[in-house]
Amino acid sequence: MTCIACGETLDREDAREYDKHGDRWTREGKTFEYLCKPCDREYCHQNREGLEETLLAADAGRTDRKTFLRRFCELTTDNENFD
Ligand SMILES: [Zn+2]
């Protein structure tokens, strides 16, 4: 496994799955990318800043789950640098 953020080579058990679609519960027909633990922590930390605002902006609790997840994904991917 290779960390997509820093390029570190990882053992499978040390890698954290990263799904650029933001939906790691739908596993069928997917391949996952991987982050090392330090990058995974950093990624989660970044996304928690302003999480509440992002949830509100995505209409959490006021729209159906699918729409919410799509909006939330769009909003949060603005902050990532993996592409
Ligand atoms: Zn890394």
Residues 50-65 pLDDT 10s: 777 777 787 777 888 8
**Distance of CA 32 to CAs 36, 39, 70, Å?**
13, 15, 18
Q: Determine the distance separating the centroid of ligand 1 and the alpha carbon of 33, expressed in angstroms.
A: 11
Question: Does residue 79 sit in helix, strand or coil?
Answer: coil
Total number of domains in the chain: 1
Q: What is the model's pTM? A: 0.43
pLDDT tens digits for range 68-83:
888 878 877 765 555 4
7 located within any domain: no
Q: The domain containing residue 54 runs over which residues?
A: 12-77
Residue 39 has pLDDT above 80, yes or no: yes
% of the chain exceeding 90 in pLDDT: 1
Residue 74 dihedral angles phi and psi, to the nearest 5°: -60, -45
Distance 19 CA to ligand 1 centre (A): 15
Does residue 62 lie within any of the structural domains? Answer: yes
In a domain, 69, yes or no: yes
In a domain, 2, yes or no: no
Separation of alpha carbons 78 and 57, rounded Å: 13
Is 35 strand, coil or helix? strand
Q: Is residue 44 part of a domain?
A: yes
Q: What are phi and psi of 41, to 5 degrees?
A: -65, -45
CA–centroid distance, residue 62 to ligand 1 (Å): 36
CA of 16 to the centre of ligand 1 (A): 10
Q: Which residue has the higher pLDDT, 27 or 5?
A: 5
